[in-house]
A = this chain, B = another copy of it.
Amino acid sequence: MANNREYIAIHTSRFIEELIEFLRIPSISTLPEHTVDIKKAANFVKDRLLAAGVDKAWLIETTGHPLVYGEKIVHPQLPTVLVYGHYDVQPADPYELWESEPFEPVIKDNKIFARGAADDKGQVYIHVKALETMVATQSLSCNVKFLIEGEEEKGSEGLTAFLENPYNHDLIQADAILVSDTTILSIDQPSLTTGLRGIIYFEVTLTGPNRDLHSGVYGGAVGNPINILCKMLATLHDENRHITIPGFYDKVPNLTDAERTELNKVPFDLLCYQQSIGIDEVIGEEGYTTLERVGIRPSLDIHGIWGGYIGKGAKTVLPDQAHAKLSMRLVPNQDANEVAEAFTKYFSSLAPKGTKIQIKLEHGGCNAIVLSQDSTAFQAAQNAFETVWGKRPLATREGGSIPIIAKFREKLGCDIILMGFSLDSDAIHSPNEHFSLTAFSKGISTVISFYENLAKLSKG
């Protein structure tokens, strides 16, 4: 371990330079015009894995963007860990709100600012450099496989298809899957994520007249698609901000008071939380704390809305259509397909006669998951954090979703460790996304320590 610490200390500045190179590639998976950058990012990861010392690495073509696979097999008897992550990023708009270029990384206050810095390139690179270190110091005590995809931000369709094919399972078979795409509570309080919400995402379009109309001539006599869509969307929550879709909560587990008390023990400062995002009051489902609202309760958010005239000045138009993108975050036991069906049925019923509603499933939904805390791998992860951060990590439920995690468990059935190193304040999916360089280097040590502990615990 001493050698490893030394190696990391000597090479950290180079690690960061390489990460900057990685972050310069605008590998936005949802925008077709960035397909070239996607390929570039995939090859970057492959080349870096080879340089880090994997036995072999190559790109696996999928129905969408390619997977990067690499492996270092030390000995068949040793435990095997599959590292999963993604090299694609979210779109960077609204660009005008970035203080520096989203794809021109800048280091400020020991943080690196760029789209993808925390989600997920910075965290993927922790694993690449951890491998390089262990190979260089000949301390790698497990077999390691990498599977880094390029469609996580758009639904992981290619990887899902790959996992559906049993012939692919041998290649990626492992004792544990290690993922760094989640958050820790704070830089002083590490945590391990033991639950993730599911998600189902839609785009809806309401159509009224066959063309834009003059609001003076027709206003008041013809249904206005924007007025009506707003009403329909508003109907999805009641006064207490419960979601009104019939049956939506049927399978949502009611936690016991004991469980809720436990969950709320996690250190959380509501004032700091509000200040960090510039609001003077949180708004959410009646009767639940903020931690519960994102941890154990489902939610429904509109991500985008557009229709009519949105240029400068005034245009008195009654538009022919209005559009919105929205998703529901799901908790354990909720079935994404059932929810999708219930939403579609209910939302369609809200469209009045004289209008047409189209509801498009934006990408395959995924169910929430809860991970075991008893596995050898989980203990290895706990010990690793304790060793490197000097504190036992707390177990947390996270509001976000990693659709592919449920699929991994279903298909490979092995333990899954969500060992994230980013912070809620890292502004992922937002302008000025950043990643703490402290978390970056501590992350490398934590991953190395995880391998050591896993090998030890597996032997015993």
Contacts and interface: CB of A to CB of B under 8 A. Distances in A.
A368 to B, nearest CB: 11
B234 A230 contact: yes
Nearest to A31: B312
A214 interface: yes
Nearest to A278: B210
B216 A329 contact: yes
A309 B209 CA distance: 25
Interface stretch (A48-56, A171-179, A218-226, A339-347): A218-226
A101 interface: no
Interface string A179-223: 000010000000000000101010000001111111111111111
Interface centre among A223, A300, A308, A312 (most CB of B within 10 A): A308
Interface in A349-401: 352-355, 362-363, 398-401
Interface centre among A217, A221, A235, A284 (most CB of B within 10 A): A221
Contact of A429 (B304, B306, B316, B329): B316
A85 interface: no
Given A97-B211, A316-B199, A329-B220, A354 B282 contact: yes
Contact of A281 (B94, B211, B298, B353): B353
Number of copies: 2
Contacts of A319: 303-304
Interface residues of A, number: 99
A311 interface: yes
B217 A398 contact: yes
Nearest to A228: B283
B353 A215 contact: no
A433 to B, nearest CB: 10
Interface centre among A201, A235, A430 (most CB of B within 10 A): A430
A278 B221 contact: no
Contacts of A428: 214, 217
A299 interface: yes
B303 A315 contact: yes
Contacts of A323: 310
A267 interface: no
Contacts of A215: 299, 301, 303, 327, 329, 429
B313 A304 contact: no
A28 to B, nearest CB: 9
Interface string A99-127: 00000000000000000000000000000
B278 A209 contact: yes
A287 interface: no
Interface string A262-306: 000000000000000111111111000010011001111111111
Contact of A284 (B220, B280, B297, B298): B220
A314 B362 contact: yes
Nearest to A154: B313
8 contacts: A30-B312, A31-B312, A219-B399, A226-B303, A230-B233, A308-B325, A310-B325, A314-B362
Given A215-B303, A227-B300, 9 more contacts: A97-B211, A209-B278, A220-B298, A221-B299, A280-B353, A302-B308, A305-B306, A313-B362, A317-B429
